[in-house]
Amino acid sequence: MQKGIKPLLIGTAAWIALLCIIMLIASIIFAPAGSAQDFDKIPAYTLKEYHGKIGVFKNDRSAPERIINTAVNSLPEFDRQSLTDGIDVYSQEELARLIEDFDG
């Protein structure tokens, strides 16, 4: 009876592996729009430090479209560094959320 169990376990493992591969391929093919496959998406806005405040820049312009009256030096170090580097924003909803987070 031991000899019959080993091929059964190997066969079952092979079927499970095959099903996992099929599911992986299907998840790649049928990934929803707006998922991690949008690597080439261009940001609508960029938040950057501007004269000590937070500037909302649109389309890589040199002057901000809007200035958020939050002193950058009052923010945590991570936020200050992120604003120095520039925070890319891809939608109005994300922009509103970030402004709320920074402006409180």
Residue 10 half-sphere exposure toward CB, CA atoms < 13 A? 5
The 8-class DSSP code of residue 62 comes to: S
Q: Mean pLDDT over residues 29-49, rounded? A: 72
pLDDT at 2: 61
| Average of per-residue pLDDT values in the chain | 83
76: pLDDT strictly greater than 90? yes
Give the residue-averaged pLDDT of 56-83.
Answer: 92
Which of these ranges, 24-28, 40-44, 89-93, has the smallest mean pLDDT?
Answer: 24-28
What is the residue whose two structure tokens read 């806005």? 45
Give residues with Cβ within 8 angstroms of 69, minimum separation 6: 53, 103
Give the pLDDT score at 97. Answer: 94
For residue 53, pLDDT beyond 80: yes
Q: Which residue has the higher pLDDT, 63 or 3?
A: 63
77 vs 15, higher pLDDT: 77
CA 71 from chain center: how many Å? 26
Alpha-carbon distance of 65 to 73, in angstroms, equals 21
